[in-house]
Structure formats: C-alpha cells, structure tokens
Structure 1
Amino acid sequence: MSDAVQDIKYEGLNRMQKLALFLIVIGPEQAAQILQQFDEFEIEQLVREIANFRIIGDDVQRAVVDEFSEIIGTSFGAILGGTAFAQKALEMAKGDYKASSLMGRISPVSTSTEVMSELSEMDTRLIFNLIRNEQAQTLAFVMSYLSPQKASEILMMVPLETREEVIERIGTMDQTTPENVQKVIENIRRHANLKETTSMSQSGGVRAVADLLNLLDKNLSKTLLTKLTERNPTLGQSIQRKMFSFENLISLSQRDLQRVMREIDSTDLVVALKSANKPLQQALLGAVSKRAAETLMEEMDMLGPVRLKEVEAAQDRIIQNVRQLEEEGEITIEGGGDVMV
C-alpha cells in the first residue's frame, strides 16, 4: 500500500464518501458515536468507503472542515459531538428527512464546558463534598466528566450500598434528561461559584465505566461488576469486554489467539511479553509456528531492560488490535466472568 497522499476530488464525491472522510477527520472515538446511529448495512458502506481513503491531503481536510464549518468551527482542537454534529453527519449520508427521523431517537445531553472543566481541576474530596448528598444519577453524571483516576477515587468515597447504582448510571448515561442536567449544573454552580459558558456533550457510557473499574482494587472492581451484571446483564457484559486486558489473552480460544498473533507486530509482542507470566507466554508462543516461537524467544533474550511504560504501551497496542479484530467479527471475546481478572 502506497504512503503517497491520495488525489481526491472532493467536489466529485457523493454524500456517503464525504461522510466517510468526515469520520476520518474527527477521529475514531467521535466517529464511533456517529456510526452507532446507522444500521449494519449503512455502517458497512461507510467502513468500505473509509477503507478506500488512506492518506488524506490538507486540501481535502480543509474541504471537509469547510463543509461542516457550522458544527466544528475553525479549530481542529475543538471537542466534536452533540446534536448538531450528529444531525449534519446524518444529513450528509441520508438526506434531511431520514436524518430528522433518526435524530428523533437521539437525545444527547449537553451541559457547561467550563463548569465541568473547572470542577475536574478540583481536589477529589472537594468534588465529593459538593455532590455527596445528590442522587446516584447526579453522582454518575459528574463522575462521567472526570478522569478515570479521579472518578475512581470519588467512587471509593461513595457509600458501598450506592456504588453499584452509580456504576450502572454511568454505563447508561443516555438515560439522563436535559432537565436533570440543568439542575445538576445549577446546584454545582451555586455551591462552587462556577460560571456557565458554552455547551458540551456528556461523556458517560460503557467505556467510561470500564476505565473507572480498571483503576479500582481488583476485588472491589470484580464485586461491583458481578452485582451490576446481575442487575443488567447486557451492560455488565459490554463493560467486561471493554475491560479486556493483555493478561486476558490467555482466555481466547486457540483459533482466535492464532488470528491475533498473525495481526500483531512482532516487535510489540517481544516487548509486551517482558512482564507476562509464564502461562501467558506459553499460550502466545504456542499460537505460532515452532520456528516463529524460537525466533521470538531469541529476541526476548537479546532484549535489554525495558521501561514499564514501554511494556504497557506495547501491550495496549496489542489489545487495540484485539478489539479491532473483535469489532470486525474476526474473533470472539466472551463477556462471561472468566474474562474478568
């Protein structure tokens, strides 16, 4: 595959192709939010178009920005999302009528950017004191805007009997109503003297819960997730899949593990295995040919000391490959309790 910038005539593209370029420009996280609103056939069409666009030149990127300028403004650094963002993207793909129909099923929650930004800079104890008497829904709403580390610290301050509900609320944040959001913001502003400015999209969901639980004590995390799965099996299993870690590779079937090993970079694998336990090393090396396994072991022996940060980065890249393969239907990550470690 060539690394040259593609010669793309933007004005000659159809609406689906323009939307595909738009999704590339805004990045995978924001694109995923948009793709959730399409059916499987339409998503397949978009993915095919995205695959056709490899390296996009500055002129095409500017054309995309210009066409969507009412939504994303002039700064690439702006946070993208919200009703207008989804509406425009859907209009580009489906036309005004179908977009309006789809948007009727979408009810994103917006709130104040700077209120939550200033709140996120506060000490965790102060944040908790501001919201400690609020309902679980409000606690979840505020925590969904914080970093996973800070949210996990606040969760430990929440009474044990409330934690389970807070976790579930974060995972199903789309149930929050605009009226409740406004009440939360007004209450925080009243107690903390924070100002109101422009709006932003709420940031809860399965990924937020998974990140939060990954930072908790493993026993507590497992207990919370077990109880949550009993209350909401679908949500619980979705969270477990998002929490899949490098150590969980050993839980994959031999066929899936072989598929993963064909996909990942051998350099990443050598580095990632530096901190892996023996059973995991044996499982991974057993998923490749004898000659390939011997080569990997030789490279591991030759590899000098590696910073833990580099090992974790290599493991993260491998897990990203694993998640991509699952999304493409190439492998299966079970959502059962055995995945949780």
Structure 2
Amino acid sequence: MPAVNYDELSKLQKLAIFLIVLGPETAAEILRQFEDAEIETICQEMTHFQVIDKELQARVVREFSTVIGANIGSLTGGAAFARRTLALAKGDTKAASILEKIAPGSHSGEGLQEIDEMEPRQIYNLLRTEQPQTIAFILSYLEPPKAADIVALFEPNMRDEIIERLSRLDGTPIEMVSKVAKSIIKNVTRTKVTVHTSGGVRFAAEILNASDRETSKEILARLEQRDLELGNAIRKKMFGFADLVRLEQRDIQRIMREVDTNDLVIALKNATPLLRDAICGALSKRAAETLREELEMLGSVRPKEIEMAQDRIIKIVRRLEEQEEISLEPGGASVAG
C-alpha cells in the first residue's frame, strides 16, 4: 500500500486505523455500538490498511485519545483483522456475511466449503429440521442447480417458505442460528473459495429455473397467492422461452438481431403457434417465410437440444434486459426503440 498522507484521511479512515491500533477485542466492543450497515462501512476501510506504521499509529492515537499503551510496534490490519474483529463483535456467521459484502472472497469461504462438497441429500438431512429462514441462508451460498435439488427434497409447503425467504434476503445482513453455525461452520479449514452472492429475488428465480418445471410452477403459483408483488418479481427474473410471446414486437425484433438462426429454428421446434406467430411477426416478410420453411423441413430433435437452444436465446434476452435495451414487462418501455 502506498504511503498514507494523514492530512488526507477521512474521519472514517482514521476511525478504522484507530480500531486496528486498539486490537480486535477492544475494537469489537466498540463496534457492538454500531448498526450493521455502519460496521460494514468501517470494516471496509479496515481492509484497506494492511500495515500501519508507527508514525501513523501515533498520530491517530493522539487525535482519538491522550492515553495509550506504550511500545506500539508495526501493526497489521486488512481483511484478516476485520474478520477477527467482526467475529468478536457479531459472531462467526454474521462476520462471514458482512465481510463477504465488503470484501468478496476475503473470508475464504469459511464454513461453506464443507457444505459445498456434500451431496444434496446430505445437505437436506442436515437442514431438514431447521427453520425456513435458516435453510434459505445456507442455500443462498450454493449454486442454483444444487440448491434446486435440495429444495425439491422438502415438502411442498416448506419449499414455498424457503423460496419466499430466499427472495427476501437481498440487501440485508444474514444471520444464521447458532445450532447450524456450530454443526456446519466449525469444520471448515481447507480450500479458499469465493462464495455465491447470497439471497435475493434473482437467486430465488435461479433456483426455480433449475427446478423441474412442474415444481417451479406450483411453488410460484402459491407464492403469488401469498404475495402477488413478490411472485411477480420472481416471475420476471424467471423469464422463460415461452414468455417471449408477451413481449412488445420492438423488443422481440431487438432480440432476433442477436439470435443465431439455427438456434431459433431448433428452439421453435415444439413451440406453440402463438409463439411462432409472435416471432415471425417481428421478422421481415422474407425472413419469416424462410423460418417457417425451415421449421417444416426440420426433422426430429432431441428435447435436450431444444432446451439448450432456448437457453442460449434466453441468455441473450437477459443480457439485453440488463443493458436496458429491452423490457420484459408487457408494454414496458426500453431504451432501445
């Protein structure tokens, strides 16, 4: 880290340095007086100061206090210090959650590698007696396909609860109950991993997308009955190939400019007449005629090939939506006309 100009440091940066000087135990006592959002901000600054020289320590101490222990040596801060301090202030699990938000990957996937190496059935057996909120916390750190396999093992009502809680995790600090923390996190030591960003509507949608269609359809229907706004938010993120039919023609036209012709033909193999008409209606007359001819000439295609072609098109759809070039809402406005 380059030399630090003390006069250019903000008050927040000076506080972070001062807490490092105090050491994890004392710093933890101070941090307990702050809200989680404030702790995240302070600890984010801590991670920036890997080594603090004696002169900088002394100046910070003089500003914050007139009395400090003698013999201050070169102190180390950084992510490791932030992790130790957070663990003392908030516990191991909360520390992992906060640190992942302020310095992704810096907590080395503590407590999660052990779970990630388990089979879905093993994880299910570990979690099946836990509360839905606790289960949602654990699943939010797994890849969606694996999380979907685990969700499928629960009873329908529990599936609904888990998906709903997953969708509400976004942007909030996640706290895991001590029982699960002790049984899962205590054994983690090995490989450093960067964990999946936890929770949220998008993650809930990814899990439902990775589930079999009947299961995801049932869960989503029940969620919409309980919370229509939340259900609609998840459904939007779940956007599937068949949903192209509800887009505005200008948005379909924009999508078609990116789509490989062979993918389009295969993807439409078993599509409804309504969807085929919607696609053809967005093409030029000549292109639409060519597409219909190729569909008529197309022989048998394995369902997996159809699904893969549809998935490639949906990836394009999601990219364009993220770039705000199209809208996935019927009648929605997009940047690109």
TM-score range, shorter chain: 0.5 to 0.7
Task: Name the structure 1 match of 2:262.
Answer: 267
Task: Name the structure 2 match of 1:278.
Answer: 273
Match of 2:249 among 214, 231, 254: 254
Task: Rate the CA distance shift 1:332–1:220 in 2: closer, same or farther, 3 A.
Answer: same
Task: Name the structure 1 match of 2:290.
Answer: 295
Task: Name the structure 1 match of 2:125.
Answer: 129
Please report how far the alpha carbon of residue 164 of structure 1 lies from its aligned counterpart in structure 2 after TM superposition.
2.6
CA offsets 1:104-161 (integer angstroms, 9 cap, x no match): 9x66898663743332333333222212222212101222233434323322333444
Task: Rate the CA distance shift 1:314–1:109 in 2: closer, same or farther, 3 A.
Answer: same
CA distance in 2, matches of 1:243, 1:108: 29
Q: Which runs of 5+ in 1 are unaligned?
A: 1-67, 71-82, 85-102, 337-341
Task: Name the structure 1 match of 2:188.
Answer: 195
Task: Rate the CA distance shift 1:138–1:108 in 2: closer, same or farther, 3 A.
Answer: farther
**Pairing 1:243–2:242 present:** no
Indicate conservation of the 8 Å contact 1:109/1:176, yes or no.
no
CA offsets 1:248-267 (integer angstroms, 9 cap, x no match): 11111233323322332323
CA distance in 1, matches of 2:116, 2:327: 36
CA distance in 2, matches of 1:157, 1:307: 28
CA distance in 1, matches of 2:233, 2:255: 21
CA distance in 1, matches of 2:228, 2:214: 19
Indicate conservation of the 8 Å contact 1:109/1:181, yes or no.
no
Amino acid at match of 2:113: S
CA distance in 1, matches of 2:247, 2:222: 24
Task: Name the structure 2 match of 1:325.
Answer: 320
CA distance in 2, matches of 1:219, 1:307: 20
CA offsets 1:295-332 (integer angstroms, 9 cap, x no match): 22333445555444443332222212222332333332
Please report how far the alpha carbon of residue 245 of structure 1 lies from its aligned counterpart in structure 2 after TM superposition.
1.0
Amino acid at match of 2:234: I
Task: Rate the CA distance shift 1:115–1:226 in 2: closer, same or farther, 3 A.
Answer: same
Task: Name the structure 2 match of 1:62.
Answer: none
Q: Which runs of 5+ in 2 are unaligned?
A: 1-47, 51-77, 80-97, 332-337
Task: Name the structure 1 match of 2:8.
Answer: none
With the length of structure 1 as denominator, give the TM-score of the two structures. Answer: 0.56
When the two chains are superposed, the root-mean-square deviation of aligned CA atoms in Å is 3.7
Match of 2:169 among 169, 173, 176: 173
Amino acid at match of 2:129: N
Please report how far the alpha carbon of residue 171 of structure 1 lies from its aligned counterpart in structure 2 after TM superposition.
1.9
Please report how far the alpha carbon of residue 283 of structure 1 lies from its aligned counterpart in structure 2 after TM superposition.
2.0
CA distance in 2, matches of 1:271, 1:292: 16
Match of 2:153 among 146, 150, 157: 157
Q: Which has the larger Rg?
A: 2
Superposed, which structure 2 residues align to 1:1-341 within 5 Å?
113=109, 115-174=111-170, 177=173, 180=176, 184-189=180-185, 194-197=187-190, 198=192, 200-201=194-195, 202-229=197-224, 232-303=227-298, 305-334=300-329
Amino acid at match of 1:271: I
CA distance in 2, matches of 1:183, 1:228: 28
CA distance in 1, matches of 2:330, 2:293: 35
Amino acid at match of 1:255: R
Indicate conservation of the 8 Å contact 1:141/1:170, yes or no.
yes
With the length of structure 2 as denominator, give the TM-score of the two structures. Answer: 0.57
Task: Rate the CA distance shift 1:121–1:300 in 2: closer, same or farther, 3 A.
Answer: same
Task: Rate the CA distance shift 1:259–1:283 in 2: closer, same or farther, 3 A.
Answer: same
3-state SS of paired residue (1:241)? helix
CA offsets 1:258-293 (integer angstroms, 9 cap, x no match): 332233232321232223233222221122122111
Task: Rate the CA distance shift 1:292–1:335 in 2: closer, same or farther, 3 A.
Answer: closer
Of all paired residues, the percent bearing the same amino acid is: 48
Indicate conservation of the 8 Å contact 1:237/1:335, yes or no.
no
Please report how far the alpha carbon of residue 221 of structure 1 lies from its aligned counterpart in structure 2 after TM superposition.
2.5
Number of aligned residue pairs: 234
Indicate conservation of the 8 Å contact 2:110/2:185, yes or no.
no
Indicate conservation of the 8 Å contact 1:170/1:206, yes or no.
yes
